[in-house]
Amino acid sequence: MKPITVVAFIAVLVVGVLLGRSCSPQQPAAQVASVGSIAPPPRLQLKPSLDAMRRDADLLAEPVALPLARVQNTDVRRARNYPMQPPTIPHAIDGYQVDQNANRCMLCHSQSNAARFQAPPVSVTHYMDRDGQILAEISPRRYFCEQCHVVQTDAVPLVANTFVGADDILTSTPASGKKE
Amino acid sequence: MRLLEKLRSAWRTLNAPSRHFSLIFLTLGGFIAGLIFWGAFNTVLEATNTEVFCTSCHEMEDNVFAELKRTIHYSNRSGVRATCPDCHVPHQWTNKIARKMEASKEVWGKVFGTINTREKFLDKRRDMAEHEWARLKANDSLECRNCHNYNAMDITRQSPRAAVIHERNLLNGNKTCIDCHKGIAYQLPDMAGVPQG
């Protein structure tokens, strides 16, 4: 093979790689930074992948299953991320029966029992029907607690989350481009 | 009159000393017969005290046993399993016999199909549950305490919530296990009007 052929081959390879890189899609995290005053969160170390849920496994390979996540059972109340967020449940609720016959949650979280069990009572809005009438017991439309309130596990998030709460937006430095 | 005569002669035969058998034969024979009877009695008693026996009826197998399978008393991290009689039959002999005699009503129920469909079972569930709650309330949750001894409980290893509640209610005997832990192994029936906790 002549040296000129080898050089030409390498040149085509380099140009191809450079072109390919400039055309590849950007990560969505970059768009959040353009919102202005919000300081972007530190970039998460996630490889670009067609399907993050597959954890970058080859299409023809079966990824090893992650260990089951454990429910956090600390009993320490968590802050809300935004106003009106349903508070998350800070304890395990394994085997809690919430159906037509019984509501295990309301054993402790009802207004009448909360003091006895030192549980945060559900707010009075949960006793109101849609006409604003306050009922003696939890309103049927609020009956199924887990529709809004959920437990949290120790699982590592599979995809990046760039959510910034309203409080953080309000208290962050003004749009000068500077970061904390 | 003729019947009375017959009874009287029978009693005379039974009451008379033995003519053909020696005292030692009768004593030893009675002893061995007693052993055989007692062994058979206890074997049958224990055979009716197993999960296999309980779930041999579809009433138990399809309803309560199916629900039990999802709970911590059936499958858990340490592999200790509570079977039906561990919670529903007293372990002490006298009480066990008393419960077994009560169970003759359950045989009646089985024969006449009191709960032989899912609908009948659900209709009767509250009744049956109330019997068990009353029984456990009366004996201070003895069947729970056969395994769960308060003196052996390390409440510092419980969740803070559970520790506080146990200390406040169980330590001083204000409450017993079943007051709060109704439905620990099954689905609850309609709980309207039942004080919980």
- State the burial class of residue A164 (Cβ atoms within 10 Å of its Cβ: 0-12, 13-18, 19+): middle
Do A61 and A76 share a structural domain? no
For B164, the 3-state DSSP assignment is helix
A117 touches chain B (CB under 8 A): yes
Instruction: Give me the pLDDT at residue B34, please.
Output: 97
Q: Does the predicted interface ipTM exceed a cut of 0.95?
A: no
Considering the domain boundaries, does residue B98 fall inside one?
yes
Do A102 and A147 share a structural domain? yes
Overall average pLDDT of the A133-137 stretch: 92
User: Do B61 and B116 contact (CB within 8 A), yes or no?
Assistant: no
Considering the domain boundaries, does residue B125 fall inside one?
yes
For A125, the 3-state DSSP assignment is helix
Quick check: A97 and B183 CB within 8 A?
Answer: yes
Do A45 and A91 share a structural domain? no
- Distance from the B165 Cα atom to the nearest Cα atom in chain A, whole angstroms: 7
A131: pLDDT strictly greater than 50: yes
Do A80 and A49 share a structural domain? no
Instruction: Give me the pLDDT at residue A36, please.
Output: 43
| Number of domains comprising chain B | 1
Considering the domain boundaries, does residue A159 fall inside one?
no
Of A100, A113, A118, the CB nearest to B164: A118
Quick check: A91 and B72 CB within 8 A?
Answer: no
Q: What are the residues whose beta carbons fall under 8 Å from the beta carbon of A154, sequence distance 6 or more?
A: A69, A70, A72
Residue B58: strand pairing partners? none
A115 touches chain B (CB under 8 A): no
Do A93 and A78 share a structural domain? yes
Do A60 and A86 share a structural domain? no
Do A40 and A113 share a structural domain? no
Do A51 and A27 share a structural domain? yes
**B78-114: per-residue pLDDT in tens?**
999 999 999 999 999 999 999 999 999 999 999 999 9
For A127, the 3-state DSSP assignment is helix
pLDDT higher at A49 or A7 = A7
Instruction: Give me the pLDDT at residue A21, please.
Output: 64
Quick check: B191 and A92 CB within 8 A?
Answer: no
Quick check: A91 and B70 CB within 8 A?
Answer: no
Do A100 and A85 share a structural domain? yes
Interface of A with B in 74-93 (CB under 8 A): 74-75, 91-92
What is the overall mean pLDDT for chain B?
Answer: 92
A43: pLDDT strictly greater than 60: no
Instruction: Give me the pLDDT at residue A33, please.
Output: 40
Instruction: Give me the pLDDT at residue A147, please.
Output: 94
Considering the domain boundaries, does residue B11 fall inside one?
no
Interface with chain B: mutation pick from A76, A97, A109, highest number of B CBs within 10 Å: A97
**A146-156: per-residue pLDDT in tens?**
999 999 999 88
Q: What percent of chain B has pLDDT over 90?
A: 79
Q: What are the residues whose beta carbons fall under 8 Å from the beta carbon of A143, sequence distance 6 or more?
A: A98, A103
pLDDT higher at B195 or B26 = B26
Instruction: Give me the pLDDT at residue A122, please.
Output: 94
Of B71, B159, B196, the CB nearest to A73: B159
Instruction: Give me the pLDDT at residue A52, please.
Output: 66
Overall average pLDDT of the B151-177 stretch: 90
Do A43 and A29 share a structural domain? yes
Torsion-angle region of B84 (φ positive above 0: left; ψ -120 to 50: alpha; else: beta)? alpha
- Domain of residue A30, residue span: 3-66+164-171
Considering the domain boundaries, does residue A62 fall inside one?
yes
| Number of domains comprising chain A | 2
For A12, the 3-state DSSP assignment is helix
- What kind and span of H or E run contains B136? helix B118-138
A47 — pLDDT class (breaks 50, 70, 90): low
B72 touches chain A (CB under 8 A): yes
- Distance from the B42 Cα atom to the nearest Cα atom in chain A, whole angstroms: 37
Q: How far apart, in whole angstroms, are the C-alpha atoms of residue B61 and residue A88?
A: 37
Overall average pLDDT of the B121-127 stretch: 94
Considering the domain boundaries, does residue A119 fall inside one?
yes
Do A95 and A51 share a structural domain? no
**A14-41: per-residue pLDDT in tens?**
766 666 665 554 444 444 444 444 454 4
- For residue A115, the domain's CATH number is 1.10.1130.10
What is the overall mean pLDDT for chain A?
Answer: 78
Overall average pLDDT of the A40-55 stretch: 56
- Domain of residue B163, residue span: 57-180
